[in-house]
Amino acid sequence: MSVDTTAIKVTKTNHSHWNEVDWDNLPFGKIFSDHMLVMDYADGEWKQPEIVPFEAISVHPATSALHYGQSIFEGLKANRTPEGEVLVFRPDMNAKRFQESCERMCMPIIPEDLFVELVRKVVEVDKKWVPSKEAESLYIRPFLFATDEFVGIRPSETYKFIIFTCPVGAYYSEPVNVKIEEFYTRASIGGVGRAKTAGNYGASLFPARQGQMKGFHQLVWTDGKEHKYIEESGTMNIVFVINGTLITPSEEADTILRGVTKRSVLEIAEKWGVPIEERKVSVEEIITAIKNGTLEDAFGAGTAATIAPIAKIGYREETFILPPIETRTISNKIRNYLDDIKCGKTEDVFGWCLKV
C-alpha cells in the first residue's frame, strides 16, 4: 500500500493539556503539543501515516539507531498572523534537506510533496498550539530513525518517521558570546557535516562544554584540516558584515549545514542590493577586521533563534567586543523583515510561507 495523504487517520487525545501551559512564559523545546504524526517504513515502502496523541514510544533495546546512529532530523517553524492564520516557513527547503540527509545516511527518501503535506497536516491538527505573541512560534520537529532490531552494522531495513511540535519562546534571551575553536572539529571533508544527523550534535557537546566553562555560549567551528577558516557558529550558520558587505563561509565543502535561515537572509540582502560574498572566511581576516574597526556585525542564523547577534568573540587568549547591537543596521533590518514575512505582517514577495 502506498501513502494516501487524503486519508490520514487522526486519533484525537481525550485530554488536551493546552490549558495547563503557561502561555506567558514559553520555554524552548520543553512543551509538546497534543498530537504527533507517525509513519513507518518497511518492506521497501512507506506505510500509511497516522496522527495520534503525543505519547512515549517503546523501542527494542537493539534498535539500530541507538547503536549505530542512523538518525536524522529537521527543524522548522509555524507562526500566527495578526489575522489568526497559520503560516509555515519554507517547509519545501526542509523537505529537500531532509532528502539530502537521508541519502547521506543510507535512509529511505520521503518525497518532497509528501514531507510538506505531512508537516501541514500535523500543524493543522494542533493549530490552536501555534502561539500568537511576538518572538513565539510553533517549532516543528520531523525526524527519522532506524528501527531494525539487529546488532550489526548495515543500513536498517525498517524506519520510523515522526513529526511532533512544540510551542516555543525565544531561544536566546541575550546576544551570544562565542569562542573560535582551533582544536576540536564539527565536520571534516568527506564526513557528515552537511547532514542533519544526530551524531554531529552528540560529538559537539564536549567541546561546547569546554567553551561554556570559559564563559562562552557556543563555539565558532573552523575547518577540520587547518583550523584557519570559519565554518559555523554552534548549530547555526554564521554571517559577518565587513564594510557593508555580508560575508559568509561558502557551502561548497560538505562540512557546512545548508541553513534555510541563512539562505533567506542572503536572498533578502540580494534583493535589497546589499553586497554578498559567499567564500572562504579566514579567522585571520575576521580578527583583522575587528582590530581595524571594519567588522560591523557578526551573527548566527538558524531556525531556533532566527538571527542571534554575537556580542563577543574569544580568540586564543583575547576576547573582542563587537559593535553594539543597535548599530547593526543591516541585520536588524533583515531580522525585522524576515519576522514580518513569517508572521504575515508584510507581503510574502518570495512566496516562502505555506498557509495551513
Ligand X SMILES: *Cc1c(COP(=O)(O)O)cnc(C)c1O
Chain residues that interact with ligand X, rule: CB under 6 A: 75, 196, 232, 235-237, 257, 259-262, 301-303
In the complex, minimum distance from the CB of residue 185 to ligand X, in angstroms, rounded to a whole number: 13
Comparison of 89 and 129: residue with beta carbon closer to ligand X: 89
Count CB-CB contacts under 10 A for residue 139. Answer: 21
In the complex, minimum distance from the CB of residue 73 to ligand X, in angstroms, rounded to a whole number: 9
11 CA to centre of own chain: 29
Count CB-CB contacts under 10 A for residue 240. Answer: 23
Comparison of 147 and 237: residue with beta carbon closer to ligand X: 237
Tell me how far apart the alpha carbons of residues 161 and 27 are, in angstroms, rounded to a whole number: 25
Of 129, 79, 118, the C-alpha closest to 95 is: 118
Comparison of 86 and 338: residue with beta carbon closer to ligand X: 338
Comparison of 65 and 338: residue with beta carbon closer to ligand X: 338
Comparison of 8 and 257: residue with beta carbon closer to ligand X: 257
Count of alpha carbons within 13 angstroms of residue 203, beta-carbon side: 15
In the complex, minimum distance from the CB of residue 38 to ligand X, in angstroms, rounded to a whole number: 23
3-class state of residue 239 by DSSP: strand
In the complex, minimum distance from the CB of residue 187 to ligand X, in angstroms, rounded to a whole number: 8
For residue 240, which amino acid is it? F
147 CA to centre of own chain: 24
3-class state of residue 42 by DSSP: strand
In the complex, minimum distance from the CB of residue 259 to ligand X, in angstroms, rounded to a whole number: 3
**Cα pseudo-dihedral 197, 237, 354, 329, rounded to 10:** 170
Comparison of 64 and 94: residue with beta carbon closer to ligand X: 94
Comparison of 86 and 198: residue with beta carbon closer to ligand X: 198
In the complex, minimum distance from the CB of residue 249 to ligand X, in angstroms, rounded to a whole number: 11
Comparison of 122 and 304: residue with beta carbon closer to ligand X: 304
- Are 346 and 340 in contact by the 8 Å Cβ rule? The answer is yes
143 backbone dihedrals φ, ψ, rounded to 5°: -155, 160
In the complex, minimum distance from the CB of residue 105 to ligand X, in angstroms, rounded to a whole number: 14
Tell me how far apart the alpha carbons of residues 251 and 248 are, in angstroms, rounded to a whole number: 9
End-to-end CA distance of the chain: 27
The set of cell numbers assigned to 49 is 501515516
Of 168, 353, 208, the C-alpha closest to 345 is: 353
Comparison of 47 and 258: residue with beta carbon closer to ligand X: 258
In the complex, minimum distance from the CB of residue 163 to ligand X, in angstroms, rounded to a whole number: 16
In the complex, minimum distance from the CB of residue 201 to ligand X, in angstroms, rounded to a whole number: 7
3-class state of residue 75 by DSSP: coil
In the complex, minimum distance from the CB of residue 302 to ligand X, in angstroms, rounded to a whole number: 4
Comparison of 232 and 254: residue with beta carbon closer to ligand X: 232
149 backbone dihedrals φ, ψ, rounded to 5°: -95, 85
83 CA to centre of own chain: 27
319 DSSP β-pair partners: 314
The set of cell numbers assigned to 114 is 509528501
